[in-house]
Amino acid sequence: MLNRRTMIAGSLAAAAAATVEAKSRAKDDWFDRAIVIDALGGLDDPYGEESISRLSDRAISEMMATGVTMLRGTVMPVGNVADPWDEYRKSMDQFHQALAANPDRLVLIRGAAYILRAKREKKFGVMIGTQDTCMIGPALDRVAEMKKDGVLSIQLTYNNGNLAGDGALEPRDGGLTKLGKATIARIEAEKLLLDLSHGGARTMIEAAQFAKRPLVISHTGARALNDHPRNIADEVMRAVAEKGGVIGVYFMPYLTADRHPSGAALIAHIEHIARVAGDDHVGIGTDNGVLPTLLDEKSKKAMDDWTLERIKRGIAAPGEAVGVYTLVADYNTVDRYRRLAADLAKRGWSQARLEKLFGGNFLRAYKDAWGG
């Protein structure tokens, strides 16, 4: 099955769906009609068996209750592994098995029209992307093969350096390589979406300047509010916006120095990026599952074990530690997206701004990158 960020083996339990009163839902009519996009996350069935690809009735019901139209999942691997292409093929097979087992519930996104179709048919859209180019390396023809597999988004680097450029944790911050430029050119020639998340500061600036088509940073925060390497500087935001791109704000510990961000901190990052990049260039990319994480002992152990594995592999970001979980506690509920929209509305956000933030901006960038 597709796990949260497709990195934690097995499912994480989720909290029961929150009850939304009829009066509150009436106020959210625009949200029910809107295209809502989570630009980076994972699908997870906390109620089904790990070995069964068919989603449980409860899981799909709660997924649809979130109001999310489409979620971008991740095909593995990330980091410099021994045989990245073999790992990619195995991970892609898992995606295809899950999609084949849920044709009445899931739609594989192969273009912008498929997102609209998912909304129209009341199904859950799944867009497949990478969080690294380690599986491509110098074999650029693989980009076309991956597109045939259903990949629509390719992230250039993941934390450490690779052949395309340096990631956010690479001390030398060497920027984009010649192969990195060739990789971007091939991604754009195939009309796929370029993602610069996890990139080094210099890599992101150089890649944004080199790109000819709209691109994204699907999941990040504002470095001006918390100086963490996974957050981005204002100049990077402007460079992405100048190319018509979009920056997704994540629900992650890196939003605050104490690694326990509040809902107010999340809103502060959203509003900072909106001010710097503009209302047309900010979105949501939680880097969570669409369902909330239940912090019981089983799920805590699964997350702690994965954190220790990431630290061992050298791909963990500063602040990753046992007991630090990838969520914003104030929004760890089924109705997180609706409540965030309501909280922003209280701060004066208009319906038009909210529609852009929650999906309109990413939908526009996807159309422009993919063509039509």
pLDDT of residue 334: 95
**pLDDT score, position 28:** 55
Determine the residue type at 113. A
Residue 20, pLDDT > 60, answer: no
Q: What is the pLDDT at residue 27?
A: 52
Contact partners, residue 121, CB within 8 Å, separation at least 6: 107
pLDDT band at 4 (very low <50, low <70, confident <90, very high): very low
* Helix (H) or strand (E) segment spanning residue 272: helix 263-277
pLDDT, tens digit (0-9, with 9 covering 90-100), for 91-110: 999 999 999 999 999 999 99
Could you tell me the two tokens for 89? Answer: 């093929």
CB-based contact 233:322 (threshold 8 Å): no
The ranges assigned to domains in the chain are 4-370
| Angle between helix 178-189 and helix 201-210 axes, rounded to 10 deg | 50
Question: What CATH number was assigned to the domain covering residues 4-370?
Answer: 3.20.20.140
This prediction has a pTM of 0.93
Per-residue pLDDT band for 22 (boundaries 50, 70, 90) equals: very low
